[in-house]
Structure 1
Amino acid sequence: MTQAQLPYVLLYLCSTFLASVSQVLLKKAALREHKTLLEEYTDWRVILGYGLFVGCTLLTMLAYKGVPLNVGPVLEATGYLYVTIFGVTIFHEKMNPKKIAALVMIVVGIIIYAL
């Protein structure tokens, strides 16, 4: 990776992080009780979550101006780490050996690709 690509890589990582945040917002909205279907879709969490998804898509497209196509999926894989961290800290989800092994494989894959 060159010095010129670094801002685009950081933009891509930021986009992936924000996409993970939007998933949390959507899950929080899904866990709430809504009286009507309209209330379900006009919940501020749903609107913000989908708005973030659209914004992240635009950020990712912009990031690809400087990120090679073969690097994008590696950067996108960091989203699994963010979602797992959010799941454990916000939703109190439990980690089991399979999940830990999967995360280790993702991290090792990212490290191997980076080297």
Structure 2
Amino acid sequence: MSIYYLLLFAGVLAASFSQVLLKKAAGKQHKSFLREYLNPWVICGYMLLLGSTVFNISGLRGLSFMNGPVIESFGYVLVLFLSRFFFGEKITIRKLAGVGCILAGVIVYYL
């Protein structure tokens, strides 16, 4: 497997974890407007988003641009399971159907 694919997957992983951190920060009450945006959860979340951007740009340098969106779509699947693990959100039939559509689209694309 090419290092470029690994860089793209690392970007998806970083973006997914950043979404979890930002949601965690949004669920808390803060004492002031400034603390709402300058707390460890938000800062780490945005740092992960920055890292995700660097990984994605580095990964796309060596791959066809047609592979990028396909690999990025796995972020939706990952966020579903991270939400279940960190927040206890229920995985409903509708969510599973959505993930199934994403995975079916990936399979059809690569056939």
> TM tier, shorter chain?
over 0.9
2:16 corresponds to which of 12, 15, 20: 20
Deviations 1:44-90 (A, max 9, x none): 11011111111111111111111211110000000001100011111
Distance (Å, rounded) in 2 between the aligned partners of 1:87 and 1:25: 10
Q: Which has the higher helix share?
A: 2
CA distance in 1, matches of 2:97, 2:84: 16
TM-score by length of 1: 0.90
2:47 alignment counterpart: 51
CA distance in 1: counterparts of 2:95 and 2:44, whole angstroms: 29
CA distance in structure 2 between the aligned counterparts of 1:46 and 1:112, rounded to whole angstroms: 37
* TM-score of the pair, normalised by structure 2: 0.93
For 2:52 and 2:96, locate their aligned partners in 1 and report how far apart those are by CA, in whole Å: 27
Pair 1:106-2:68 in alignment? no
Whole-Å separation in 2 of the counterparts to 1:16 and 1:67: 15
Unaligned runs of 5+ in 2: none
> What residue in structure 2 maps to residue 66 of structure 1?
62
Cα distance in 2 for partners of 1:95, 1:48 equals: 26
Q: CA RMSD in A?
A: 1.1
1:81 pairs, out of 61, 77, 80, with 77
More displaced 10-residue stretch of structure 1: 69-78 or 104-113: 104-113
Paired residue total = 111
- Ranges in structure 1 where 5+ consecutive residues have no aligned partner: none
Q: Secondary structure of the equivalent of 1:56?
A: helix
